[in-house]
A and B are shown apart, each in its own frame.
Chain A
Amino acid sequence: MRSAARAQTGGSPTAALRFSGVAKAFAGVQALTNVDFDVMGGEVHALLGENGAGKSTLMKILFGVYKPDAGEIFIDGVGTAAIADPRSALAMGIGLVSQEPSVVPQLDVAQNIFLGQRGALTLSNRRRLRDAARQILDTLAPALPETARVGDLGMADRQIVEIARTLARGGRVIAFDEPTSSLTPSERDGLFEIIRSLKRAGKAIVYISHRMSEIQTISDRVTVLRDGRVVAAGRTSDFTPGQLNNLIAGRTLAKELARQPRGKEATGGAEILRLEELSNDTIKGINLVLRRGEIFGLAGLVGSGRTELVRCVFGADPRTAGKIVIDGAPAKIDGPSEAMAAGVALIPEDRRGQSLVPLMTVEQNFGLANYHAFSRSGLVRGRARRREINRYIDELDIRPKRTDAQIRDLSGGNQQKVVIARWLHSGARVFLFDEPTRGIDVGAKAEIHDLLRRLSARGAAVLVISSELPELLALADEIGIMRDGRLTQILTNEPGLTEERLMKLASGELAA
């Protein structure tokens, strides 16, 4: 760490936070390149970008999780090469409010607010801490009791606890990382009220979101990151939402998100999969039909049970009631291998955690679901497997064109293609995609979309979960809304269907 504290150059008032020329690479992949970014006290500065554009990396540098390779960070004009660790970040008054707040459910609100500070859990301090917590909460959420157990609170209140924790440390810079993804619209409005009051109190706010309407509502300035570089920065009012969207995504956006729903004509195919009153701990009474050649979109807030639904269909989670009917006959699916045998494939959201074995090659990862096809008397038929994966490498344009490349060295889009090839070869006819383009760059996104359309054109039934509503509107023939574990509505994707309407249905603000 550079010891000499330097004053910021330039005549403008000192920014509460300023990144200057920050760069960061992971194992040779450049995550951030020469990033400049600053926030004044009393200002909301929005940070925009696709998943993987570098927003989270930048915030982790701010919070002391990563150390930048180059550049400087100025806090109130005092420069440093890196923030040592999250502890020092907190001590410097830097706070991070994430989509899933890091709170301890077993402790009460006051204890959580002062967690990590000396004496936070000491009994003798309880009265004093509760009084202090009360004072902070009075400015944020007067109705939230400081004695409530955090485990009993909803997501919005947990975020308030996290904000209060930052304020308890004197909070100067507060970063919000997609704070609204699990909030209802009214909770979101409450959060915005809090952000505005923080702003009035002179706090510097960094706001990360990919929801354009929120950016327009709450932010004073925007900075757009793409592939780890700043591609645009300026006052929010100087940009139209369309401009920002194009900046975030690059030029291909218009083509990629062109709506190509085929509406009713596509839903006329033969039924492949039918769910009857499917239920378990999370999902309740799901009825759903998937047909040949259809793309079915599934919308809903994080935590609404979308992932649990597809996991249940795939046999990865237990089912407590209901039936899964395949080709008109009830299927006994109690585990992934039975789902596979029935022609069902699940492509989970967390590629690294649930789809791939990072240490294995492209060929081996392709083969994971296909040992039945590629083994004879217990031995792997390597040559046959290489021939097949080579065919898919050409057909799906997987790069690099090498069967022996380590899967971890491929880009997100190419990894996803290998996973799709795996399931194509397994003979699946029902494809359950959970956030198929998460963490995949724009160009590859369009390719994945194209692939999904090709799958359905070949007669497969495709179900797509996505938090990006434009993606669903672009892809799906029908869109189902999930809320609190129920499939509350199924809509035909007609030109009149808007993102706003889907959003309201998903949050329950618009009754089904």
Chain B
Amino acid sequence: MTLPRAPSQADGRLADKAHHRGRPRVELARQAGVAIGCVGLFIVFSALTSTFYQPANLLDIMLQSSINAVIAVGMTLVVMTKGIDLSVGSIVGVSSMVAASVLPQGIWLGVGAGALVGLACGLLNGILIAKLRLPDFIVTLGTMSIFRGAALIYTDGKPIYGIDKVFRSIFAGQLLGIPTPVLLAAAIALLAYLLIRFASLGEQIVAVGGNEEAARLSGIDVDRVKVCVYALSGVLSSIAGFILVARIGAAEPIGGNGFELQAIGAAVIGGASLFGGEGNPLGSLVGALTLGAMRNGLTLLNVPSFWQFVATGVVVILAVLADQLTRKRR
């Protein structure tokens, strides 16, 4: 029988202190990875083309990324609750059709109608997911088809042309030399950031994503939080639809097709974790810019657009892989 000395408490405490700084370091490494990726992209494209780094082209990238950025902010909120919204592209389509058809009656009527459609679509997603406890993936895959179908049915598949000039200048004009879509995207991302940082809804979004059961057992109305994020995602998708219509000068029922992957990619590159509970709406701006820069650079290099699909998919999967690797070990 042996009785070794009792362990001192001090060892444990030291270990605790070392542990304390553990996670931020992982987070820092991830952010550094994104930053290095962006800078690398910039250097490579700048070296390979003579136009990529020109201010005009950089502004163009921002402009091209703004639609995705607006959707990605909503997607980030959804992903933070451990959800996913695959219907965003279809919401862009249906809400832009409705907005375009109402525009002749008045700009703000058109905008209001489009936003209401986006809100209704998001509410439907949220209610099906939260109240009926259906899997988010299946629900939004289903509504993706439903909303797209609705957009096509609405005008029997025909685009709407002749979009109001004032509407176009609001959603695709310039203010102080900066394209309004860029300003809009930045403002929306900032508002969403403030929501997460200072509003109780924002904190509840983090709580639901971080541990839904704990949130529920703390009396947080988990269903309400979920409905809110899908509704926000719907409204933001409709705003993205306005930008799309304003830029093209027409509303197409197939507008927004494939936007969901871009938005998920931007959210994840920007730091949203598919494990829930983590994400940053400002980061999704960076994510959207990264994807936008990549497409722009590939276009300048004359890479066929078919290959750009491949590249986007690869980047998104790599981003999710990085997310797995850095966050799995909790």
Interface residues of A (CB under 8 A from B): 25, 27-30, 33, 226-235, 238-239, 247, 250, 314, 316, 336-337, 339-340, 346, 348, 353-360, 364, 367-369, 371, 374-375, 378-380, 382, 405-406, 408-409, 411, 422, 426
A-B contact pairs, 24 of them (CB 8 A): A25-B15, A27-B22, A30-B11, A30-B15, A33-B7, A227-B7, A228-B7, A229-B7, A231-B4, A233-B1, A234-B1, A316-B217, A336-B217, A340-B219, A353-B214, A358-B211, A359-B206, A359-B278, A367-B203, A369-B219, A374-B200, A379-B199, A380-B199, A406-B23
Could you tell me if B7 and A232 are in contact, using CB atoms closer than 8 angstroms?
A: no
Looking at chain B's contact residues, the main secondary structure is helix
Minimum-distance CB pairs A-B, first 9: A234-B1, A28-B19, A368-B218, A357-B210, A375-B200, A337-B219, A369-B218, A340-B219, A28-B18
Interface residues as binary, B189-207 with A (CB distance below 8 Å gives 1, 0 otherwise): 0000000001111011011
Chain B residues lying within 8 Å of A33, measured Cβ to Cβ, are 7, 11
A235 to B23 alpha-carbon distance, docked (Å): 44
A360 to B196 alpha-carbon distance, docked (Å): 13
Known A369-B220, A380-B200; 6 more pairs at CB < 8 Å: A30-B11, A316-B216, A336-B219, A358-B211, A368-B218, A368-B220
Could you tell me if A409 and B213 are in contact, using CB atoms closer than 8 angstroms?
A: no
How many Cβ-Cβ contacts under 8 Å join chain A to chain B? 124
Does B330 belong to the interface (CB within 8 Å)? Answer: yes
Does B6 belong to the interface (CB within 8 Å)? Answer: yes
Does B162 belong to the interface (CB within 8 Å)? Answer: no
Could you tell me if A232 and B216 are in contact, using CB atoms closer than 8 angstroms?
A: no
Interface residues of B (CB under 8 A from A): 1-4, 6-7, 11-12, 15-16, 18-20, 22-23, 198-201, 203-204, 206-207, 210-211, 213-221, 277-278, 329-330
Closest A residue, CB atoms, query B212 = A357
Chain B residues lying within 8 Å of A314, measured Cβ to Cβ, are 217
Chain A residues lying within 8 Å of B23, measured Cβ to Cβ, are 406
Chain B residues lying within 8 Å of A228, measured Cβ to Cβ, are 7
Closest B residue, CB atoms, query A229 = B7
Chain A residues lying within 8 Å of B3, measured Cβ to Cβ, are 231-232, 247
Chain A residues lying within 8 Å of B221, measured Cβ to Cβ, are 337
Closest B residue, CB atoms, query A250 = B6
A272 to B22 alpha-carbon distance, docked (Å): 45
A379 to B201 alpha-carbon distance, docked (Å): 8
A355 to B22 alpha-carbon distance, docked (Å): 22
Interface centre among A247, A314, A380 (most CB of B within 10 A): A380
Chain B residues lying within 8 Å of A367, measured Cβ to Cβ, are 203
A232 to B2 alpha-carbon distance, docked (Å): 5
Could you tell me if A354 and B12 are in contact, using CB atoms closer than 8 angstroms?
A: no
Chain A residues lying within 8 Å of B329, measured Cβ to Cβ, are 27
Chain A residues lying within 8 Å of B206, measured Cβ to Cβ, are 357, 359-360, 364
Q: Which of B12, B199, B216, B219 contacts A30 (CB 8 A)?
A: B12
Could you tell me if B211 and A379 are in contact, using CB atoms closer than 8 angstroms?
A: no
Q: Which of A28, A230, A247 contacts B15 (CB 8 A)?
A: A28
A230 to B6 alpha-carbon distance, docked (Å): 9
Could you tell me if B220 and A29 are in contact, using CB atoms closer than 8 angstroms?
A: no
CB distance from B271 to the nearest CB of A (A): 13
A81 to B325 alpha-carbon distance, docked (Å): 25
Chain A residues lying within 8 Å of B15, measured Cβ to Cβ, are 25, 28-30
Given contacts A357-B277, A368-B220, contact A239 B1 (CB under 8 A): yes
CB distance from A140 to the nearest CB of B (A): 34
Could you tell me if A354 and B22 are in contact, using CB atoms closer than 8 angstroms?
A: no
A44 to B280 alpha-carbon distance, docked (Å): 54
Given contacts A229-B4, A378-B200, contact A358 B217 (CB under 8 A): no
CB distance from A467 to the nearest CB of B (A): 21
A343 to B234 alpha-carbon distance, docked (Å): 37
Chain A residues lying within 8 Å of B18, measured Cβ to Cβ, are 28
Closest A residue, CB atoms, query B275 = A359
Could you tell me if A353 and B219 are in contact, using CB atoms closer than 8 angstroms?
A: no
A411 to B18 alpha-carbon distance, docked (Å): 14
Could you tell me if B277 and A227 are in contact, using CB atoms closer than 8 angstroms?
A: no
CB distance from A354 to the nearest CB of B (A): 5
CB distance from B240 to the nearest CB of A (A): 25
Could you tell me if A232 and B204 are in contact, using CB atoms closer than 8 angstroms?
A: no
A426 to B218 alpha-carbon distance, docked (Å): 10
A408 to B19 alpha-carbon distance, docked (Å): 10
Chain A residues lying within 8 Å of B7, measured Cβ to Cβ, are 33, 226-229
CB distance from A207 to the nearest CB of B (A): 19
Q: Which of A227, A247, A250, A336 contacts B218 (CB 8 A)?
A: A336
Chain B residues lying within 8 Å of A356, measured Cβ to Cβ, are 211, 214
Could you tell me if A235 and B1 are in contact, using CB atoms closer than 8 angstroms?
A: yes
Q: Which of A27, A235, A354 contacts B214 (CB 8 A)?
A: A354
A228 to B15 alpha-carbon distance, docked (Å): 13
CB distance from B301 to the nearest CB of A (A): 40
CB distance from B104 to the nearest CB of A (A): 37
A379 to B199 alpha-carbon distance, docked (Å): 4
CB distance from B205 to the nearest CB of A (A): 11
A25 to B215 alpha-carbon distance, docked (Å): 30
Q: Which of B4, B204, B217, B278 contacts A371 (CB 8 A)?
A: B204
Could you tell me if A348 and B217 are in contact, using CB atoms closer than 8 angstroms?
A: yes
Chain B residues lying within 8 Å of A406, measured Cβ to Cβ, are 20, 23
A368 to B203 alpha-carbon distance, docked (Å): 9
Interface centre among B12, B20, B199, B211 (most CB of A within 10 A): B211
Closest B residue, CB atoms, query A382 = B198
A456 to B207 alpha-carbon distance, docked (Å): 30
A235 to B1 alpha-carbon distance, docked (Å): 7
A356 to B211 alpha-carbon distance, docked (Å): 7
Could you tell me if B207 and A360 are in contact, using CB atoms closer than 8 angstroms?
A: yes
